[in-house]
Amino acid sequence: MDKTDDEMRNPSFKSGAATVDDVVIRAAVAEDVSDIADLDARSTGQLKRDYWQGLFDHISGHPATGRAFFVAESRGRLIGFICGEIRAFEFGSEPSGWVFALEVESSARVHSVGTRLFDFLADGFRRAGVNKVRTMLDRRNELVLAFFRGQGMMTGPFIQLEKDLE
């Protein structure tokens, strides 16, 4: 009954030069932005350099305000990233940490890289004094939904609404 799981069978960590033990999580620096944009483009099919540059500038310019951008690196190669920030009174809620983006290179998945990135960000939020972490994603994105549920997250009290503007 197990799902066919391409990521599970991906051999890159097992047979390649790098192993999961080589993975280091560190704060993102300006030189990472183009690798982040490339990794995202490989996953989404869209290259959005300006978007990632803008997000990086927004986050890294204010490190003391609960904003954080981390990358996962294996032997000098960027294989994942996560970013988020603490937002106070957004939609009437108490301050909470928001995960804006999370991505792991497909060849490095299901080796806990995503979990380590998430834990890093969540620890930072905890240290900054908030006790809730939130995110928002497409309900058809079953993989990422399963990942966040695996971290113990459940549907929160907010409902996202939208309409076409004619």
Ligand X SMILES: CC(C)(COP(=O)(O)OP(=O)(O)OC[C@H]1O[C@@H](n2cnc3c(N)ncnc32)[C@H](O)[C@@H]1OP(=O)(O)O)[C@@H](O)C(=O)NCCC(=O)NCCS
Q: Compute CA 70 distance to the chain's CA centroid, rounded to the nearest angstrom.
A: 8
Residue 5 found at the interface with other proteins (CB under 8 A): yes
With CB under 6 A as the contact rule, which of the stretches 17-25, 28-36, 103-111, 121-129 interacts with ligand X?
A: 103-111
Residue 122 Cα distances to 67, 109, 141, angstroms: 11, 20, 22
84 and 100 in contact (C-beta within 8 Å)?
Answer: yes
User: Shortest gap between Cβ of 46 and other proteins (angstroms)?
Assistant: 23
The residue from 78, 113, 130, 133 that contacts ligand X (CB under 6 A) is 113
Site map 24..43 versus ligand X, x via CB under 6 A: -------------------x
The 10 Å Cβ neighbour count of residue 111 is: 22
41 vs 101, which CB is nearer to ligand X? 101
Residue 152 found at the interface with other proteins (CB under 8 A): yes
DSSP 79-136: EEEEEEEEESSGGGPPPEEEEEEEEE-GGGTTSSHHHHHHHHHHHHHHHTT---EEE-
Q: Which residues here bind ligand X, judged by CB under 6 A?
A: 5, 7, 43, 101-104, 109-115, 137, 141, 143-144, 146-147, 150
Query: What does the binding site for other proteins look like in residue numbers (CB under 8 A)?
Result: 1-3, 5, 139-140, 142, 145-146, 148-150, 152, 154-155
